[in-house]
Amino acid sequence: MSERAFTLLWLQAGSCGGCTMAALEAEGVGFAALLERFGIRLLWHPSLSEESGPEATAIFEAILTGEQHLDALCVEGSILTGPNGTGRFQMLAGTGRSMAWWVRELAVRARHTLAIGSCAAFGGIPAAGSNPTDATGLHYLDEEAGGLLGESWRSPGGLPVINVAGCAPYPGWIVETLAALALGDLRAEDLDMLGRPRFWAEHLAHHGCGRNEFYEFKASAVSPSDMGCMMENLGCKATQAPGDCNLRRWNGDGSCTDAGYACIACTVPGFQDPAGAFQETPKRAGIPVGLPLDMPKAWFVALAALSKSATPDRVRTNATSDHVVVPPQSRKKTP
């Protein structure tokens, strides 16, 4: 790593602020402390920095003129490009310029550009439905390459936009990606086909899920408070969702599925427009539409039938309860 500090600028576009809230919790010690640990200097963040108004825009201008070097531009939230491509649905206050303009100009001066959260990565929630604000991600709109910056865009550091997807992304994904960049240890081959860092995107949210015994026997929950697997009836997409959420867990103890809420595959482009309600499983002929990513439908149907026929009474009973009704029984030892 070079002697000068690795610098970071964070902008919020069409965002609820949830990605910032996630980052603040990072690893129990906080975002600011972890940045300092990895030698990262935060130039400005809309929620964390004292500078506002002309003081903040002076930092942006210094980057544009080259007076201030910028290593990482983090953008949180969708870019609202409407109406008619003007970007005037989202102006940066006091500058007379759209957020889209600022992101384009700063991205060509930053060594690396990161989309923080699925809104910045793929358009996300603001791009749902008819997308009235013409919201887009930095490098994608849903699965279609292009977005704000264009399909062939690469940063001065040679990488595409690094998509730290999620709604919100796990805090460790944000900090560890920035740390890898600061240490010079993130290359193009470390990103998947959608620009997501492989260290978390090559896992599934299903891995480590506390309901996996119920999944194995296809013992399904029927109500949100039930303990069983939520894939068959309650819309869970954990077997289709990149992310190690259930392996590392939020705040050290918990995940969406632990809390009884189905995984909505928030790291995947287009998650905001599901085939049905988020907590209902769309089916055809009684078979869930969404199946595990790499399993042929015929195999899944056959496996599910076999698994259900072998389900222990304990698992079947507990699956539709909100607490353990039948505990595991110790097998008596034969004399």
Query: pLDDT tens, 36-45?
Result: 999 999 999 9
CATH architecture assigned to 6-201: 3-Layer(aba) Sandwich (3.40)
In this predicted structure, what is the pLDDT of residue 254? 86
What is the torsional sign of CA 194, 125, 101, 41? negative
In this predicted structure, what is the pLDDT of residue 4? 82
* Report field, pTM of the whole predicted structure over 0.85: yes
In this predicted structure, what is the pLDDT of residue 1? 40
Domain pair 6-201 / 212-319, same fold? no
**Listed ranges 77-81, 251-255, 313-317; the one with the highest mean pLDDT:** 77-81
The stretch 40-51 carries a mean pLDDT of 96
Confidence of residue 330 (pLDDT cuts 50, 70, 90): confident
In this predicted structure, what is the pLDDT of residue 249? 84
Torsion of Cα atoms, 91 then 95 then 97 then 99, to 10°? -50
In this predicted structure, what is the pLDDT of residue 332? 65
CA–CA distance, 143 with 149 (Å, rounded to integer): 15
Confidence of residue 115 (pLDDT cuts 50, 70, 90): very high
CA–CA distance, 145 with 134 (Å, rounded to integer): 15
Token readout for 67 is 């007076």
Which residue matches tokens 């068959």?
Answer: 232
Confidence of residue 72 (pLDDT cuts 50, 70, 90): very high
Domain ranges (residues) in the chain: 6-201, 212-319
Quickly list DSSP for 195-243.
Answer: S-BHHHHTSBTTTT-TTHHHHHTT-B-SSTT--SBSTTTS---GGG-B-
CA–CA distance, 204 with 214 (Å, rounded to integer): 17
In this predicted structure, what is the pLDDT of residue 2? 44
Question: 212-319 in CATH: which number?
Answer: 4.10.480.10
* pLDDT, tens digit (0-9, with 9 covering 90-100), for 213-250: 999 999 999 998 999 999 999 999 999 999 999 998 88
